[in-house]
Structure 1
């Protein structure tokens, strides 16, 4: 029997009997159906892989719905649709008197890099690392590796959304003025106060800049650019170290180069907030620290330090140390708690 025929045989079994097995006897029933047809043990590994991916992919879809709600709240906080605190200022404070000259790294650029680039890199790496066997259809290689990358991307996005939410809440609670505060806001009390008088209540009167920039002029602490660029850069650098780097591969020089670019992006984006006078040094320091803590949590807790092999072929499952595989095997062999008629 050819490899294609074998693949179609098990695909047919999975398609025709998976729903019946789950409805009548739980996942264990599917394994019994396979054994009754006299298939070898590799079919169970193939089925384990497919169900594991299906369960995780379904969980990812449900979590993404929550992400959308959280992202909507962050956007409302960012544009000032939700109330937030504004700290006062000291008259003629030179630390708040820098002219606004724009951003070297715009917020749209940082958002694009943070959201799109990691998935593309993970998809490429997983596609290169993918190994076809007799139970995998070669025409589905890109789809399979996209799902595998998507599972890790889900954890990455989860960490990014949590980090961004914390940042926005802290920004709105602290309400610290930026170094360009006087130029962007032009507070009315700044024209009448004297010496080093502290002003706690004011109204922005600037007509040169948009309402968003006037609101944003009082949200300096901490730096979201520093946090998100550090999070993205360190995550990708460590992902490549764990999943792509090997002294025995020809990529031994390419991977460190990409890792260096990731780290340079994180450093330059963070430092540009100082050279652009968009943040104080302590804003960048705290923002970068939050990015480091977030990436440690995502990598070590959510992604398990990328210790699990890519679930893309039965040969990988058979050769792995099997912690995740054994958990799914126990799930398949367990009896359901509720039987459906």
Structure 2
């Protein structure tokens, strides 16, 4: 095995804990999304205007589209800046030694080191955000604005209705009706696009105005969730705050520079 291959293996091994954290958080998120359901012991007033909106089957931004906005889109932009765009547009100033003590081999281009570390950070942000978002959803078990329409109560004239009085045959639609707070669309959009905006502002030499599409797109996602009667206004704010908080925490832990320096390309 050549010296370079040994160094590359050692470099990758230094990120083992981060790789494991990304895989485990993504796994926990998928498990909680598919197999866990919120608390079902509540009673609801059928005349409550906050949960008596109409059910809109066709969402403006679907769950799949939101996931694309949160990960493949930022990944594509990172790939463009680090692997395609000219070096004059990207500032390769990521720290030579990360917070975990992983040293960059001298022969490894700084932009590849930056690209690798950024992709790992993005995955970790989305994984942690997914676990926290679903955890809060399941614990809080807040009804969506369209819950009564989802429930389809047996007695439409009853003042109170409990979960076991719902006639909705699609359990997925019914369970989702109790997962309003916080907004998952908002948290994922804020986490992915927030990271991308911060990354571009920090690591590119172009005008900051060129990156404003990130917060604008995030805002569009948030507003669409209220318009589609999927969330209350405070759900999208809570989701956005959660996503940005996770982004800031991971950025400070993994991508903060220890000292001003320009790495050799």
Deviation at 1:268, TM superposition (A): 0.8
Report deviation, 1:88: 2.9
Q: Secondary structure at the match of 1:103?
A: coil
Q: CA deviation at 1:212?
A: 1.7
Equivalent pairs counted in the alignment come to 245
User: Which moves more between the two structures, 300-309 or 149-158?
Assistant: 300-309
Match of 2:64 among 103, 108, 113: 108
Q: 1:121: how far off? A: 1.5
Residues 150 and 12 (structure 1 numbering): CA distance in 2 closer, same or farther, change over 3 Å? closer
Q: Which runs of 5+ in 1 are unaligned?
A: 1-10, 19-50, 246-250, 317-341
User: SS in structure 1 opposite 2:164?
Assistant: coil
Task: Give the match's secondary structure for 1:126.
Answer: helix
| 1:91 paired residue among 38, 42, 46 | 46
Task: Kindly indicate whether the alpha-carbon contact (under 8 Å) linking 2:151 and 2:163 is maintained by their aligned counterparts in 1.
Answer: no
Three-state SS of the structure 2 residue aligned to 1:191 is coil
* Cα distance in structure 2, aligned partners of 1:310 and 1:55: 23
Query: Which residue among 212, 218, 222 is the counterpart of 1:260?
Result: 212
Aligned position for 1:178: 144
Task: Give the Cα separation in 2 of the matches to 1:89 and 1:78.
Answer: 24
Q: Which residue, 205, 230, 236 being the options, matches 2:167?
A: 205
What secondary structure is seen at the aligned counterpart in 2 of 1:123? helix
1:73-106 Cα shifts (integer Å, max 9, x gaps): 3223223x23531343112212212112231111
Equivalent residues in 2 for 1:12-51, closer than 5 Å: 14=4, 51=7
- Equivalent residue in structure 2 for 1:225, among 185, 188, 208: 185
Checking the alignment, whether the CA contact within 8 Å between 2:152 and 2:167 is kept in structure 1 is yes
User: How far, CA to CA, are the matches of 1:307 and 1:262 in structure 2?
Assistant: 28
In structure 1, C-alpha distance between the alignment counterparts of 2:257 and 2:126, rounded to whole Å = 17
Q: 2:12, 2:118 → 1: CA distance?
A: 11
For residues 280-319 of structure 1, what are the structure 2 equivalents within 5 Å?
280-304=232-256, 315-316=264-265
Are 1:236 and 2:196 matched, yes or no? yes
Larger relative contact order, structure 1 or 2 (CA cutoff 8 Å, min sep 6): 2
Task: Assess if the C-alpha contact under 8 Å between 1:273 and 1:284 holds in 2.
Answer: yes
Give the TM-score normalised by structure 2.
0.79
Q: Which segments of 5 or more consecutive residues in structure 2 lack a partner in the other structure?
A: 89-105
Partner of 1:157, secondary structure, is helix
Secondary structure of the residue aligned to 1:89 is strand
Give the TM-score of the pair, scaled to structure 1.
Answer: 0.63
- Deviation per CA, 1:136-181: give whole Å up to 9, x if none: 6xxx98xx85554122111121122111101101101111111111
Query: How big is the shift at 1:67?
Result: 3.0
